Amino acid sequence: MEAVKLVADWDPRPGYALSPQETASGKATMACHVFRNPRLERQTVPDPSPGPGEVVVKIRGCGVCGSDTHAVETDAHGYMIFSGPASFPCILGHEYAGEVVEVGPGVRNLRKGDLVTAEGMLYCGVCEACRKGWFNQCVRLDMVGFSSPGAYAGYIKAHEKHLWSLNGLAERLGSAQAACEHGALVEPVGCSYNGMFVAAGGMTPGSHVAVFGCGPIGLGAIALARATGAATIVAFDVAQTRVESALALGADEAWDVRALKRQGGSESEVIRRISKGWGADMVVEAAGAAIQTMPEIEKGLAAGGKVVYLGRTGERAPVMLDSLVSGASRIVGARGHAGGGVFPHILRMMEHGVLDIGHMISHRMPLLEAAEAVERSKSREDSKIMLVDAG
């Protein structure tokens, strides 16, 4: 089959001490310290064949993720920006959905022809974190498209424990292709759900919600807040197209932060105005720009408010922790989307018309043009580029 692989040089940063596991496995704990000169190459590779409990999925939809963009972008020294665990070369792509075309021995819940989407966090199920149900914190975590072959390819093999059926969604939408494209969005929206509802324990209906950063995770947070009874939702980004997507997904107000600042305004003022002075009960940080966002989040947070921190940045941010004391408020971090009922609950909401995230798709390209799509994603104008193979 044809596949789009990320290739990079194993060249640990001067002064970075590799752990014995990193040396033995070739898997870096933080890719940004080890992999240099990343590039995407289209290659012909062997077709996958399913082992016990596994199926082969023909890819029909795969989203381009900000992590993919970070994997090809580099710092001043040529090291990739992506900071998660990774082992390259690896077929990129992890937000996928498709059709089961081959079923391995011992598979219990899936049949040939089923439409499925997949969790991208390949947890071991054996370590202490996993056995406490903290699958996203697995100490041996592999990630589809970074340390396990990804979905920018004709086919992928996956264990059935990571797959969820899209048959019900296909019935609702009346189209297998639409189900696969919407189904591929469950992975990024799952990260928002996991942060807001699993890690932070959710928000009460009638909450004021503010979302910083309107990429897919932020847009997912907006759609989920709307679907679950937020009173008001205000969103902030620096790209005008993403501001428009935020409105399309249910924000009451969305601001281009740079335009807002030019008018002499600030994010916290907007939050205070829309909440009649009370502040935001839940703030989702999906910008990964803590240095800029945290001072405004602090000023806009309601008493008892929750900050759900989902963006990633390697930098330290100034935070006035005393305001957490006075407000009895909290900051909760989260990553991933495995476990916690995340996938099945989002799929239920989609199947029953409570959540429509299809508006997130702003551009479609053929699956094997993944390299061009990742290049396009660098402009951060699209809310979601969906790679499709309708054949």
> What are the residues binding Zn ion (CB under 5 A)?
65, 95, 123-124, 127, 130, 138
CB of 43 to Zn ion, least distance (A): 22
Q: What are the angstrom distances between the C-alpha of 158 and each of 26, 52, 70, 363?
A: 22, 10, 24, 27
CB nearer to Zn ion: pick between 97 and 271: 97
CB nearer to Zn ion: pick between 327 and 358: 358
Phi, psi of 231 (to 5 degrees): -75, -45
CB of 192 to Zn ion, least distance (A): 11
Cβ contacts of residue 260 below 8 Å, gap of 6+? 236, 266, 267, 270
CB of 95 to Zn ion, least distance (A): 5
Cβ contacts of residue 171 below 8 Å, gap of 6+? 351
Distance CA 176, CA 98 (A): 9
Q: Which two tokens stand for residue 256?
A: 């281009």
CB nearer to Zn ion: pick between 28 and 138: 138
CB nearer to Zn ion: pick between 95 and 298: 95
CB nearer to Zn ion: pick between 19 and 49: 19
Kindly write down the DSSP assignment for every residue of 271-307, as one continuous string: HHHHTTTS-EEEEEE-SS-HHHHHHHHHHHEEEEEEE
Would you call 4 helix, strand, or coil by DSSP? Answer: strand
Using H for helix, E for strand and C for coil, what is the string for 105-132?
CCCCCCCCCCEEEECCEECCCCCHHHHC
CB of 140 to Zn ion, least distance (A): 5
CB nearer to Zn ion: pick between 121 and 274: 121
Whether 164 contacts 189, CB under 8 Å: no
- Written as one letter, the residue type at 187 is E
CB of 201 to Zn ion, least distance (A): 23
CB of 365 to Zn ion, least distance (A): 17
Distance CA 248, CA 266 (A): 22
**Dihedral sign (CA 113, 347, 177, 371):** negative
CB nearer to Zn ion: pick between 188 and 300: 188
CB of 361 to Zn ion, least distance (A): 14
